[in-house]
Amino acid sequence: MHNPNYKYKVYPINQAKVEGIVEVSGAKNSVLPIICASFINRKKTHLQNVPNLNDVNVLLNIVKSIGVKSSFLEEQQEISIEEFNFESISINIESDDTRKIRYSLLLMGALLGAGIKEIKINLPGGCGFSERPYDIHLAGFEKMGCSVFEYENHIEIKAVNGLNPSVVELRFPSVGATENLLMAACGVNGVTILKNVAIEPEIIDLIDFLKKLNISIEFIDTRTVKIDSQNKRDIEINHYIIPDRIEAISWVILGALTSDEGICVKNIDINHLFAPLLELQNLGVDFKFENGSIDVKKSKFFNSSDLISDVYPKLATDYLPMFAVLLSMANGTSSIVDTIYPKRFGYLNELQKMSLVYLQKNGEAIIRGNTNYTAAEVTSTDLRGGFAALLAGLLSNGETIITNAYQIDRGYSNLVEKMQKIGIKIERMNA
């Protein structure tokens, strides 16, 4: 894992010719829950198309801390995880690594699904851009028959008498809660009904993985899923991680902003990208889709727009920081409303240091177009905000320094190598 104390120096594109092929890696938000779900299996799990990310390495370290061996072949993009065979009914996850990634929360559902009766785990970390409550997760566990105890620095969950068949309705279609409760349901001797679930592609990828264990999972309607794990079997699993849709759109926006010759973004699933591609089309982005690839080149002008994030299949909150940079280059004034995380605008404060003009009020950001970015030292406020700062740096008049660059590498596999391959000059520097 990289030393987190480094920064990026980004050179403007007026010093480079941006063109070539970019290969999208496997989805960060898919591989992390599936690594957790491997606990439900008592045989080996083999994952392909695994992105080389800090978060993956952190999670594997946590897995190692409770005695599960794994190997990550980064060049081959493959992980093998040994079978999960614990005699103990109690697991205490004290590793400080849990504080580095939010996905450590999913170890709770995974361990319950594996039959563990008592779990103690440190509170999670991850992107700090907004309050991200996990009460939905815990309320679901309680509905399944768990006793939940919250402390200042950790959570304890007890299911001494096992998990009950139940009907659980989420108050909001949270991705993490849906994943946690899906995995916990795999430890129920009976049927679990989950209502108002998230239906992101990464959820479907997790479901496809769990089905390989002969767990019956079916959608009763769009957001209601029925889980019956009574015929669950332990099977050596091979699973291919879906492409990362957020990374795909990040590269498409980069091409639209910087590449006169055009870049080809490969290894995408168009079925996951309808909402962002429709917005890009409305903004005037010049792209075409063919055979699992998107060809995109620099647009002559961008239309202003009013963007609103919402739960999938609508426009995801994670796209908004990159769209903000694109809107800052449009003709006229645009607005962004983030209905998922209304306070997720810290990245705009950093872009302001580079001459962005914006106004924020009541969960809405008003962005002035035709921005002439100036080079500055800025901070990667979170994973996607960091990529937005990087885009602005490419458009600026000089060398931009991005501190806390570790955040960007949490979600973009082999970023420097991919950028250099298409002609972008970027350097990783010691802080």
Q: Can you give the CATH number for the domain in which 170 is found?
A: 3.65.10.10
pLDDT at res. 3: 58
- Cα separation, 356 vs 299, in Å, equals 20
Same domain? For 217 and 297 the reply is no
Query: What is the pLDDT at residue 134?
Result: 87
**At which of 212, 240, 268 does a domain end?**
240
Supply the pLDDT for residue 54: 87
Cα–Cα distance measured from residue 258 to residue 137, given in angstroms and rounded to the nearest whole number: 41
How many domains is the chain built from?
A: 2
Count other C-beta atoms under 10 Å from residue 64's C-beta: 13
Radius of gyration over alpha carbons of the chain, in Å?
Answer: 22
Active-site residue, 36 included = no
Catalytic residue, candidates 127, 146, 186, 264: 127
Is 1 inside any structural domain?
A: no
pLDDT at 5: 83
Residue 153's pLDDT is 86
- Asked if residue 322 and residue 220 are part of one domain, the reply reads no
Contacts of 272 (CB under 8 A, 6+ apart): 201, 242, 243, 245
pLDDT score for 1: 41
In a domain, 88, yes or no: yes
Average pLDDT for the chain: 94
Per residue in 228-269, pLDDT (tens digit) is: 999 999 999 999 999 999 999 999 999 999 999 999 999 999
Are the C-beta atoms of residues 137 and 173 closer than 8 Å to each other? Answer: no
- Residue 282 tokens, joined: 């409305």
Rounded to whole angstroms, the Cα distance separating 291 from 269 reads 10
- Domain encompassing residue 227: 28-240
Indicate the pTM of the whole model.
0.95
Q: Which residues in the chain land under pLDDT 50?
A: 1-2, 128-130
Residue 149 in any domain: the answer is: yes
Q: What is the pLDDT of residue 130?
A: 46
Is the same domain home to 254 and 296?
yes
Instruction: Tell me, yes or no, whether 290 and 408 share the same domain.
Output: yes
Domain limit, last residue, from 222, 240, 258: 240
One domain, residues 19 and 34: no
Query: CA distances (Å), 106 to each of 109, 192, 243, in order?
Result: 6, 18, 21
Cis preceding-peptide flag for 173 (omega within 30 of 0): no
What stretches of 225-273 show up as alpha helix (H) in DSSP?
245-258
Domain end (from 205, 220, 240): 240
